[in-house]
Structure 1
Amino acid sequence: MIRLVVPGSIDQLTGGYRYDAALLKALQWSGVDAEAIEILNLDDPAELGLLMTDLQSTSPGPCHLIVDGLALARLHDLDPALLPRFSRAAAQVHSLSALVHHPLGDETGLEDEERQHLHALEAEALRHVDLIMTTSRHTSERVNALFSPQQTVVVVEPGVDRPPTLPKKEHGVGSQSLKLLCVASLIPRKGQDILIQALHRLPTLDVHCTLVGLLDRDPDYVRKIQGLIEELRLQNHVTLTGPLVDEALEQHWQAADVLVLPSWYEGYGMVLDEAAVRGVPVLVSTGGALAATFREGTGLQVPPGDIGALATAIERFARDSAFLASCRTTALAISYQQRSWEEAAAELCLALEILIPRNRRLDLFDSEWLALREPFDHKARAGNQAEQALKRWAQGLHDADRPLTVVDLGAGLGSNLRHLDACLAAESGGSLISARVAIDHDPAKLKALDQLPHTTVQAVDLRDTEMFKATIAAIINSEAATLLTGSALLDLVSESWISALLGVAGQHRAALFFTLSVDGSSTFSPPDEHDDVVQRLFNAHQQQADTPGPEAAHLLAALARSHHFEVIVDASDWHLDSAAGATDRQLLSKLLTGWREAVREQLAHEHFTHPDGRKARTGLQLLQLDAWCQRRMAQIRSGTLHLRLGHCDVLAIPGQPPDLSTY
């Protein structure tokens, strides 16, 4: 579910609200459960309280909450605890995003002190969201430059609705009359005062300009515009209509020769796209995003606030009918490349795919998954070279009467410790392990280890490197040898975490045994043409956020050798056969479902962070991924799918560093 929080009614006729309303309508039309939450009075604590109650009581499950930038900073200003409460409301809000049309402090006419206050307020508010959505590349760059956010910033540009009919005549061609249309709220940022002064410089031309837009946003500015029109005697050349919609607005579009938008600043400028689909040339400033959203050949651009340049551009449109016709033809041609609002809605949904926090990697698997995979893990590890070498090392310690403490990192439900108990059984009976320490971030999982003999448990967030290092240092003592171990963990942690692990092990001469790290390889039978693409995307997903993923085991091995450890790397591949029984089929199904989620997340990441050439392929790749998953799931059900999934184990035994005094 997607819930869009806006201040006031979403039906207001500004660019930002029109974007919100059109996107919401497209989401609903596409079958997404989406609705607007309208906060009619941001200053009323009672209404905000009702909003929190609504979030906690009416959501049927987790939802994506998107707060329009117009409301975000105001909500935080009223109650700094409100945004964190949004993101945690009864654990039902899966994610909290901000939708920024343009930074609030970039509004025209603000005093420096107020501008700085708004920038600071917005920066603080944005700290509490999971994702920042913007409506243009310019706004994205501006947000990054102003606020340096830690979250991902994505661009979801607007779509455009095509008009019911195109103009039946080429306005202005062969005529001395030029009809200008400006569709924008009458506020200082839109620059209508500049436009009126430019018209005053063209007394010999037959030009008429219609100003369509809200008149209640800044009454003082509206009075200024009305005063200018009267002072410059332009009553016959300028008309203020107020806000118009539907057929009334379409009539003005049909009559217009040129759209004029002399804004000082725009977060996108949707009316440029709306002009293009109607074949209406444009005369716009270069303010804000307009420098980028303007399409070459569709009209003219002038610097914001430049009355002379604006007047000269109007004169060219009025006198050069061939140029006007050329701009109209180009606008119509380009308009067929513009996307619909449904495509914009699909891109927003894709943006939400990347919201799974990167620090959830150690929370990736639930207890059901851990229990399901345990027999396959044990079978894959049994008797490989690394395990045999581990047993010889442990037996040597036992023969020398030196105790061995095993510290299992990310212990989960204890699968690794149970396997090591069986592997390291003493020849004379009993175990080669003297003591066990199980470490995991989840205390609930650690409760399952209470039955293991000589085992202590510690709930530690392994993602906190300093806490992890301090915990290990406290466990290790000089009387006992120590084995730091982990299963299916290494490919989920960062490169810096692996370096910290080697630092601790090297300092205390602890051995390392990390098993079942994915190595980035797989073999499906029967093969499929999209296997390699899926594997590449899955591997890339595993390598996000300083995580080496499939390279982790070999990174650990290389670092261990540099610390003078004796290292053995050996395979521990899974072999899953859907014909072998229900357990294989269940594991294959859960595995492929996880792969699909990871690959979708990676496609979303690449879509928003790579050049446009890759963006064009995203939709096709999603369709191919879904089709690939459907084929593989059908093969699982029919008992015809076999999968070898590559894993490897790394054993590193501390050796003696070279005696540099002999050199």
Structure 2
Amino acid sequence: MANSEPLTSVLFVVPGDPEQKTGGYRYVQRVVAGLRDNGVDAFVSGLCGSFPVPDRMAEASMNRLLAALADDSVVVLDGLAMGGLPDVIANHASRLRVVSLVHHALADETGLTQELQDWLFRVERRALSKVAGVITTSAHTAHRLKDYSVPATAIRVVEPGADTIAGIGAETQPSRAQGPTIHLLCVAHLSPRKAQHHLVEALSDLRDCSWHCTLAGSLDRDEHYAHELGGIIANLGLEHRISLLGELDDLELAGAYRNADVFVLPSVYEGYGMVIDEAIAAGLPVITTDGGALSTTGLRPGVRQYQAGDVAGLRACLEDWLTNPGALGEAATQVQQAARSLRSWQSTAIDFQRALEDLLPPPDPTTFDSDWLALREPADHLARNKRLLSEVLVWAEQDYCHPGVLSGHHAPPLLVVDLGTGTGSNARYLVPAMTVPQRWVLLDQDEHLLALAGERLQHLDVPLETHACHLNAKRLAGQIPDG
């Protein structure tokens, strides 16, 4: 059932520094900004430790953050952060309103051992079973989550947006590729899944063409791969034709798009592939694979696709545009058309808010008028089962004066927990009937009724505690005091 109450605040939780410049982190950054523009108090918090295979620091960081949140807080947990911590999520999901944001399943990362892949699948499936719903960035990932036993009714797809970058775009760049050298650009952190080595291999056979390739993306996320890639480039003698720039800030990235003629993403798997939209927004024809969600998100005018991992296919696409200015120019014209249909980040933020409100059940709105409760109380007391009452009284006497208590000593006062106490009708009925010493704990979600109960039960002269809390199947056991 859709939530009738609008979203007012939400906390996004990501691993590490929230300002990282990968697609997943940029998605969160832009959605948060859009939610704030819509009047929602949206924030991002980063976790310490290692992910997605969490160490003790990661587990402690997640547990500490969730424990500090008030009941019913709306929390969006990035799949990279929560996938390996199902037990921590389970400990807090019953009192929080938790949704997972999944870009792609953790087990679908490239280069994993079979043992690690199986472990990631098991723990992420358990973690996803603990949340109220899942938001994915593509229909491809939503379909994949069926394998994780996530019901279709608990999944919403909110695709990324793409804004024109630093004032450049297809319509302001109608005549790219006019110079003798074609400038190729790949924006992605260096990793086996992004497969920059395939691009380097394909270009090594196209030395006779006039091109320069820029690889922009973090060198630190997989330092071993980055080092190996640098060695491959050097061994092929392509240091002067392929530039490894590392991670760029916004201005530097805008300059890289501005100076490029063709965008290339050789990734073997993507949960969406945001950089494809960004490249189109910047007016760049695109060469990419059909890996993962790219099989559908890459089906745009001005985008050439080849089978993921097929270096020969990549080489053929590159050669066609490097040697055929007419084909590249036609692709550039098509990109102008595709850029007009890109969705904005503001639209993404609106859809994200709707998805949260749709997936998250509202806090239990059940309330009762105190005057109505007072009117019904006499009839309620008359309707009590007298036989059951007598059994309760016998049990209370036996429990208080049980044989295990030493002669001359009595047990502590009988602890009675009243669920959904309202204004305390149950206590007004039972306290005088039970002659043993008593201590009552009154639980209700309505703080106004609890306050009235405290006032109206003072004359009974028994110790009373009142606790405002939501009582549902998941939370009930945790609300009942020991003993």
- Return the TM-score normalized by structure 2: 0.72
Give the Cα separation in 2 of the matches to 1:371 and 1:339.
Answer: 52
State whether residues 284 and 335 of structure 2, in contact with CA within 8 Å, keep that contact through their aligned partners in structure 1: yes
Over residues 453-508 of structure 1, what are the superposed CA-to-partner deviations in whole Å (9 max), with x where a residue is unaligned? xxxxxxxxxxxxxxxxxxxxxxxxxxxxxxxxxxxxxxxxxxxxxxxxxxxxxxxx
- Per the alignment, do residues 69 and 169 of structure 1 end up closer, same or farther by CA in structure 2, a change over 3 Å counting? closer
What is residue 293 of structure 2 aligned with on the other side? 289
Between the aligned partners of 2:377 and 2:290, the Cα distance in structure 1 is: 62
Of 345, 348, 353, 2:352 maps to 348
AA partner of residue 329 (structure 1) = T
- Code of the aligned partner of 1:158: P
Choose the corresponding residue for 1:120, options 110, 119, 122: 122
Change (3 A) 1:282 1:111: same
Matched, 1:133 2:118: no
Runs of 4 or more, structure 1, over 6 Å off, are 434-437, 449-452
* Structure 2 counterpart SS, 1:179: strand
RCO (CA 8 Å, sep 6+): is it higher in 1 or 2? Answer: 2
Cα pair 1:126 1:149 within 8 Å, conserved: no
| Contact 2:370–2:423 (8 Å) recurs in 1 | no
The residue type paired with residue 232 of structure 1 is L
Offset at 1:40?
A: 2.2
Question: Which amino acid in 1 is paired with 2:204?
Answer: H
1:24 to 29, 32, 51: 32
The within-5 A match list for 1:40-51 is: 40-41=48-49, 43-44=56-57, 47-48=61-62, 50-51=64-65
Aligned-partner residue type, residue 72 of structure 1? M
Give the secondary structure class of the aligned counterpart of 1:249.
Answer: helix
Q: What are the superposed Cα offsets for residues 515-564 of structure 1, whole Å, 9 maximum, x if unpaired?
A: xxxxxxxxxxxxxxxxxxxxxxxxxxxxxxxxxxxxxxxxxxxxxxxxxx
**Contact 1:87 1:96 (8 Å CA) reproduced:** yes
Q: Distance in 2 between matches of 1:237 and 1:32?
A: 47
Q: Give the distance between the partners of 2:387 and 2:323, measured in 1 at CA.
A: 88
Alignment of 1:450-599 (within 5 A): none
Tell me the C-alpha RMSD between the 2 structures: 3.2
Counterpart contact for 1:282–1:300, Cα < 8 Å: yes
User: Does residue 235 of the first structure (1) align with residue 239 of the second (2)?
Assistant: yes
Aligned counterparts of 1:14 and 1:153: Cα–Cα separation in 2: 23
User: 1:65 maps to which residue?
Assistant: 75
1:138 and 1:163 map into 2 onto residues whose CA distance is 26
Does the CA-based 8 Å contact 1:132-1:151 persist in structure 2? no
CA gap of 1:70–1:293, structure 2 versus 1, over 3 A, is same
Distance 1:150 1:136, change over 3 A: closer
Maintained 8 Å contact 1:285/1:304 = yes
Q: Partner of 1:15 in structure 2?
A: 23
1:257 and 2:261 correspond: yes
Query: Deviation at 1:164?
Result: 2.9
- Aligned-partner SS, 2:207: coil
Q: Find out whether 1:198 has 2:202 as its counterpart.
A: yes
- Change in Cα spacing, 1:269 to 1:32, as seen in structure 2 (3 Å) is same
Contact 1:281 1:298 in 2 (8 A): yes
Alpha-carbon deviation of 1:326? 2.4
Which residue type is aligned with residue 253 of structure 1? Answer: Y
The residue number in structure 1 matching 2:165 is: 163
Counterpart mapping for 1:190-229 below 5 A: 190-229=194-233
Tell me if the contact between 1:276 and 1:331 (Cα under 8 Å) persists in the aligned partners: yes
Structure 1 residues 436 and 287: CA distance shift in structure 2, 3 A: farther
Structure 1 residue 146, shift from structure 2 partner: 3.5
CA 100–356 in structure 1, closer or farther in 2 if over 3 Å, else same: closer
- Note the C-alpha offset of 1:49: 5.3
CA distance in 1, matches of 2:32, 2:116: 32
Corresponding residue of 2:472: none
Q: How far 1:366 sits from its partner (Å)?
A: 2.0
Q: Aligned equivalents of 2:273 and 2:251: distance in 1?
A: 21
* Residue among 75, 80, 89 paired with 1:83: 89
Map 1:365-380 onto structure 2 (within 5 A): 365-368=366-369, 371=372
Q: Quick check: 1:267–1:288 contact (8 Å CA) kept in 2? A: yes
Does structure 2 conserve the Cα–Cα contact (< 8 Å) formed by 1:99 and 1:133? yes
User: SS at the partner of 1:55?
Assistant: coil
Distance 1:100 1:370, change over 3 A: farther
Aligned 8 A contact 1:263 1:304 in 2: yes
Residue 197 of structure 1 deviates from its aligned partner by: 0.7
Structure 1, 44-53 or 208-217: larger mean CA deviation? 44-53
Query: Does structure 2 retain, via aligned residues, the 8 Å contact 1:180–1:208?
Result: yes
Cα distance change, pair 367–325 in 1 and its aligned pair in 2 (3 A): same
Aligned residue in 2 for 1:594 = none
Residue 324 of structure 2 corresponds to residue 320 of structure 1: yes
Match of 2:334 among 305, 315, 330: 330
Partner of 2:452: none
Secondary structure at the residue paired with 1:214?
Answer: coil
State the distance in 2 between where 1:199 and 1:436 align.
89
Correspondent of 2:280 among 271, 276, 287:
276
Count of residues in Structure 1 that have an aligned counterpart in Structure 2:
382
Separation in structure 2 between the aligned mates of residue 278 and residue 55 of structure 1, nearest angstrom:
41
Deviation at 1:445, TM superposition (A): 6.0
Correspondence 1:306 to 2:306: no
Gaps (5+ residues) in structure 1? 376-412, 422-430, 453-663
User: Counterpart of 2:140 in structure 1: which amino acid?
Assistant: H
TM-score of the two chains, using structure 1 as the length reference: 0.53
Alpha-carbon contact 1:196-1:229 (below 8 Å) kept: yes
**1:47-78 C-alpha deviation (Å, 9 max, x unpaired):** 4454245324xxxx7421111111102333xx
Is contact 1:171-1:255 (8 Å) kept?
no
Shift of 1:247: 1.6
Summarize the Cα distance change of 1:219–1:448 in structure 2 as closer, same or farther, 3 Å threshold: same
Is the Cα contact below 8 Å between 1:170 and 1:325 reproduced in 2? Answer: no
CA shift digits 1:121-156 (9 cap, x unpaired):
100111110011111111111112333448601111
Paired position in structure 1 for 2:12: 4
Q: Structure 1's 151 and 39: CA in aligned 2 closer, same or farther, altered over 3 A?
A: farther
Query: How big is the shift at 1:207?
Result: 1.6
Is the alpha carbon distance of 1:53 and 1:146 closer, same or farther for their aligned partners in structure 2, counting shifts above 3 Å? closer
The percentage of counterpart residues that share the same residue type is 34
Aligned counterparts of 2:185 and 2:371: Cα–Cα separation in 1: 64
The one-letter amino acid paired with 1:339 is R
- For the pair shown, the structure with the greater C-alpha radius of gyration is 1
Cα distance in 2, alignment partners of residues 218 and 200 from structure 1 = 23
